[in-house]
Chain A
Amino acid sequence: MKTRPNWPAGLFAVAWLVIVLGPLVYLVTVSLRTRSEYLGKSAWSIPEKLTLENYGTVLTGGFGQYLLNNVIVTVATVAIVVVVAVPCAYAVVRSTGKFVQRGFTLLLIGLAIPAQATIIPIYLLITRMRLYDTLTAIILPTAAFALPVAMLVLTNSLRDVPRELYEAQAIDGAGPLRVLVSLVLPLARPAITTVGVYTALNAWNGFLFPLVLTQSESSRVLTLGLYDFRGQFTTNVPALLAAVTLSVLPIFVVYLIGRRFLLSGLTAGFGK
């Protein structure tokens, strides 16, 4: 099919490019400016000299701890979600029991629950469980709220597995556990990847649970660290933007490596 160039659409796309890229260019260039130049010159003037000093300021200011906490929270959340959701999805697809099917329906209703609305009772539960101000306090609810989408993606993918494959395994004398390990796990791998990416991004960028459920420096995650940096660096905006840039860097590296997985993960389960 031949297409003529679509000029109005192209112009619109370029305008959007400026809106998207402009702030990002601003972010990186200001983070490389000296403080006096930021205060003394227009934002769009060509910088006289660039400096990495701001990045040094940030890296010596607890950034490593926040980053480590973020990695722990993200990895633990993904691990919990995958470990509990995969067997559950297998049961939902293969079991005929009412308990399993009803539970699954309830879980899907959870798709509509806004996490904000439950933050007060979660705060109550976490303090009563004596988990307040620990990384576990962030991990548990984050994982629970990731489960509905995870289950949706996993059950969709397992439903596409032909019945004959399960039957062949049964004839070979394989019990449910062996079917899970040797059939379900390999076949669900793309779906597990999608779930992993989606859950990881949510956990990585989480803000509300850390804000409400942690307090001290030692259990602070990256997003909250940024929020606090704002207080510390009210007079040092280049350092603040260096912190913001550093917080994006790990995800950006992941994006460059696994762009395809990341994009499919972002739209996981939202249909055609």
Chain B
Amino acid sequence: MSSQRPSGWYAVPAFAFFGVFAALPMVLVVYLSFTTWDGLSTPAFNGVDNWTRLIQDGEAHASVGRTLLLMVVSWLVQTPIALLIGVWAAGKQWSRAVLSSIFFLPLLLSTAAIALLWQVLLDPNFGAFIGGPLFLGDTDIAIYTVVFVISWQYIPFHTLLYQGAARAIPASLYEASIIDGAGRLGRFWNITLPQLRYTIVTSSVLMLVGSLTTFDTVLILTGGGPGTATRILPLHMYITGFSGFEMGYASTIAVVLVVLGTALSVAVMRWSGFRSMSSQQEGS
């Protein structure tokens, strides 16, 4: 029987491909973080220079702070809205089905399209809110405007996750609680929320990692401005590397991004008492 099993060769193309274009770059980025490189010549080893520079780089620290702010506020805005709409849309009424198919429309637009649309909409001279606040031009408001646009784009996706999960909750649980005299709020609190806890974790991880690596929205919408008010970490890396031609130092910033992302995923899993992402996914 064992001769009928596929040989390891069946797996080689995929592994090789992933190895060259995803795993190898991960190793290379660590190496490059110890070099000076302008993007054209050969990278030259310079020890821990980039790392000592990073420790003193106030702009890099500020961009980490902005990234964390963006992550926290995005999560606080997106989670409750996506959860409520998802649970609502899981109902069987035709009106909910029609409305929820409209709710998913932003999923069809690319990030570039969404960022351009909102930039035009929020234009202070010709946009839809003339005379309103300078949504993209005010250093205090711009980052919240970014959060709003990101939420507009991604809430539909998370709604979809919650809708699917809410539909999978056994109806018998609700029937039993109605017999016990539970009200609508009681049912939501005692049945729906606990049943959705794994979905909340999955959605939160995706949301937080997503906000950590937000790039195209901010590049197009504000370019990091006004001033440096929306220059978050990935954008700081991009500008340092591809506009400032300091690829070595930009790699150092990229390593910070990887560390933050990994720490974040691990922390969310631990905090939620959830062993591994893959084990839940295998159960689906």
C-alpha spacing A30/B25, complex, angstroms = 43
B283 is an interface residue with CB less than 8 A from chain A? yes
Contact A23-B118, Cβ < 8 Å, known A85-B14, A116-B213, A170-B1: yes
Select one of B18, B25, B242, B257 contacting A121, CB under 8 A.
Answer: B25
Residues B4 and A116 in contact, CB atoms below 8 Å apart: no
Question: Nearest Cβ distance between residue A112 and chain B, in whole angstroms?
Answer: 5
Please classify how large the interface on chain B is, using the bins under 10, 10 to 19, 20 to 34, 35 or more.
35 or more
Residues B255 and A248 in contact, CB atoms below 8 Å apart: no
Question: Nearest Cβ distance between residue B180 and chain A, in whole angstroms?
Answer: 14
Residues A159 and B209 in contact, CB atoms below 8 Å apart: no
Query: Which of A46-54, A56-64, A202-210 faces chain B?
Result: A202-210
For B265, the chain A residues whose CB sits under 8 A away are: 112
Contact A117-B32, Cβ < 8 Å, known A87-B6, A88-B14, A267-B161: no
Residues A120 and B281 in contact, CB atoms below 8 Å apart: no
Residues B8 and A118 in contact, CB atoms below 8 Å apart: no
Q: Which residues in chain A, 179-196, are within 8 Å of chain B measured between CB atoms? A: 179-180
Among B1, B13, B25, B96, chain A packs the most CB atoms within 10 A around the CB of B25
Residues A226 and B17 in contact, CB atoms below 8 Å apart: no
C-alpha spacing A80/B212, complex, angstroms = 29
- Tally A-B pairs: CB < 8 A: 298
C-alpha spacing A85/B15, complex, angstroms = 9
Residues B103 and A117 in contact, CB atoms below 8 Å apart: no
Taking CB as reference atom, which chain B residue is nearest A254? B108
Residues B281 and A255 in contact, CB atoms below 8 Å apart: no
A135 is an interface residue with CB less than 8 A from chain B? no
Query: Which of B45-53, B57-65, B134-142, B163-171 faces chain A?
Result: B163-171
Q: Which residues of A contact B (CB under 8 A)?
A: 1, 3, 6, 9, 12-13, 16-17, 19-21, 23-24, 26-27, 30, 38-39, 42-44, 80, 83-85, 87-88, 90-92, 94-97, 99-100, 103-104, 106-108, 110-125, 140-141, 143-145, 147-148, 151-152, 156, 159, 166-167, 169-170, 174-176, 179-180, 204-205, 207-208, 211-212, 222-224, 226-227, 230, 237, 240-241, 244, 247-248, 251-252, 255, 259, 263, 266-267, 269-272
Residues A116 and B118 in contact, CB atoms below 8 Å apart: no
C-alpha spacing A251/B111, complex, angstroms = 13
C-alpha spacing A170/B89, complex, angstroms = 46
